[in-house]
Each structure stands twice: as C-alpha cells, then as structure tokens.
Amino acid sequence: MVHPIYRVSAFEIAGAYTLRIHFDDQAEQVINFRPVLAGDLYGPLRDASLFNQVRIDSEVHTLVWPNGADFDPATLHDWPQYVEALTARARQWDLTAAR
C-alpha cells in the first residue's frame, strides 16, 4: 500500500479552532479542529491561546503545537475521509475522562 506524502506549506487561522491549511500539491483544507480536541494530547488545545500557538514543523512539514500534539499531514490533506472517525474517537476519550 502506498502512503502518499504531503507537506503543509502554509496555514492561516480562519476562526476559533479553525485553520486554512495549504499543501505542497496546491490542495487546501479548511478544518475546524474543535470536534476532535479531546484526550490527553489534543484536549489541552481547547485552550484557544495554546491552539493558536500552532506552527509548521520544518522537519516533518506538518502542524505542531507546543504540547507535542500534531497530525499526520496526509490526514490533514484528506481530512473529509477521517473527520468522522476522529470525532467519534474524541467523543470516546471525553466519555472515558468523565468516568
């Protein structure tokens, strides 16, 4: 199975928890991350001041946050294919944390 390699080339903050992401193949995604911000790694990004510290890692060319959170650039590139599963997983993390 061939796993495509994409690189994030630029991004802009487009709204609360929402980024417009540009890729090296000229593709673009506008992603509202709020539904997937749960669990130990992504949950802290619910703090808007932390979320807005996003940057592009110059080595792996994906989005990273100061707490170590990141996403595979292929997942970001093809977000519509993954968003339902990621949102469901985030809901499970929230349910587990509430117990």
Domains in the chain and their CATH numbers? 8-98 (3.30.2020)
For 44-80, write each residue's pLDDT tens digit.
999 999 999 999 999 999 999 999 999 999 999 999 9
Model pTM?
0.90
What percent of the chain clears pLDDT 90, i.e. is strictly above it? 87
As given in the structure block, the two tokens for residue 61 are: 């060319």
**Would you say residue 98 has pLDDT above 70?**
no
Local confidence band at 4 (pLDDT 50, 70, 90 cut-offs): confident
d(CA 99, CA 19): 32
β-strand partners of 64: 55, 70
Q: What is the pLDDT of residue 68?
A: 97
From the centroid of its chain, how far is CA 77? 10
